Structures are given as structure tokens and as C-alpha cells.
Structure 1
Amino acid sequence: MVILVSLLCRLPELSGEEFLSHHRERHAPLVASTAVARRYVRRYTADYPQPLGFPGVAEVRFDAVVRQWFDSTEDIQGLVRSAEYRETIQPDERRFIDMSRSEFYLTTERVFLGDGGAAR
């Protein structure tokens, strides 16, 4: 499995609550409803960071952490190259995500404690 991690920043004209509301109530359900996501995405999760407020710890620079699990990088390409992504999902992303400030990376999961037992 490969995981696409998205560190999402909201558009400057949106409040934090407007961004979160759009993601939770519109975007995530929209993605989950598409045939292309059901074909390629094995799991889709979102975290909405809250500042820790600890001295010496930098403030959070993004509004959401989205993780999508795929069987392969080819499946990620299949998703983003599909007409359904370009015509349905991507236009909605532009309504609330500031792509110029958001960050994306690929990773695999290593479990050191908890479900999955020893490090893999």
C-alpha cells in the first residue's frame, strides 16, 4: 500500500470553520460517492489539527491532513487522470483548498506499536 498524504491549507477568504465544514459536509462525501474513488482508493481519512499551545512548539500551518491509501502509485495516477476526477472532484477542491500553500507527499505506513504488531 502507498499513502498519499495531503497537508491542506484553506483559501484565504475562508474561515477555518468554513473550510472544515466544506471538507466534512461536501468534499469528503463527494469523493466517497464517485465510482473512480471507489475503484482506486482503499481508505480515506481526515484529521483537523488543533494547536497544542505548548511553548516552543510551532503553530499548525495547515487546516487538514488527508490520507488516501492506494494499492500502487499507478492507482493514484488512474484517479487523478480520470475524467470523473477532473470534472467532479478537482473543481470542488478549487472551491476551498489553496493548492499553492498545501503540501503533498507519498509514504508507506510503519507500525511501531499497536495494530500490526512489530515494525514492518
Structure 2
Amino acid sequence: MRNLRRWGAVYVLILLFLGSWMGQFFTQLSEFRSDQQTLGAPFSWSEYLASFFASTFENWQSEWLQLVFQAVLLLAAKHLLFQADAEDLERLERKIDRIHETVGAGPAGPEEGDPRAIDPEPRT
């Protein structure tokens, strides 16, 4: 049961994938048989399987191309959009540090490069 809870979404996706692929298989098989009857040619599994896998790989190639294109666009957008956020956060941190020092609480904390920034608690 634990395995099903942990990997349930993966199992569902695998079932959906196999179901859609089988749907493509039978739909294309029906269309291929219809075309063969229209042409008066005998049905051949080798010809059908070659046609089925060719269309499958064309579909997958198209999907992967879209996925890669979307990933590149999202990474570019993330870089452009969130660059300003990082600069804003640094500006806010500097303001908080100034307020902290103005209130008289001393320095705000260890700066980058300070060993205390990595391990602030002394080991005993």
C-alpha cells in the first residue's frame, strides 16, 4: 500500500500513456485496414507496424520538440523576470541591515565569506 501511495501518480501516468498508445494502435489499425481494402491490397502486419511506429515516433518527436522549446522559453523568462526580484531582495536585505544597526542591535549577521555564515553555532 505504501508503494501505491508513493508511486501512484507514476502508475496512473503509465496507464494513461499505455491507454492512449493502444488507442492510437487500434485507431490506426482500423484506418490502415480500410485503406488497404480501398486499394485492394492484402493486409500486412509488417507494413502496418512500420507505419504505426513511424507515426508514433513522428508524434513523439513533435512533442519533445515542443517540450524543449517550452523549457527554453521558460528558462529565458525566468532569467529575465526574476533577475529584478533578486536585485530587489538584495536591496531589501541592505535596508534591513541598516535598520538593524540603527536600532542599536549591532551588526545584522555574518557576511559572505565569514566562517560563521556557514556554521553560526559554535561546536562544543
For this structure pair, what is the TM-score category when the shorter chain's length is used for normalisation? Answer: under 0.3
Normalising by structure 1, we get a TM-score of 0.23
Q: Which has the higher contact order (CA 8 A, sep 6+)?
A: 1
Bigger strand fraction: 1
Bigger helix fraction: 2
Larger Rg: 2
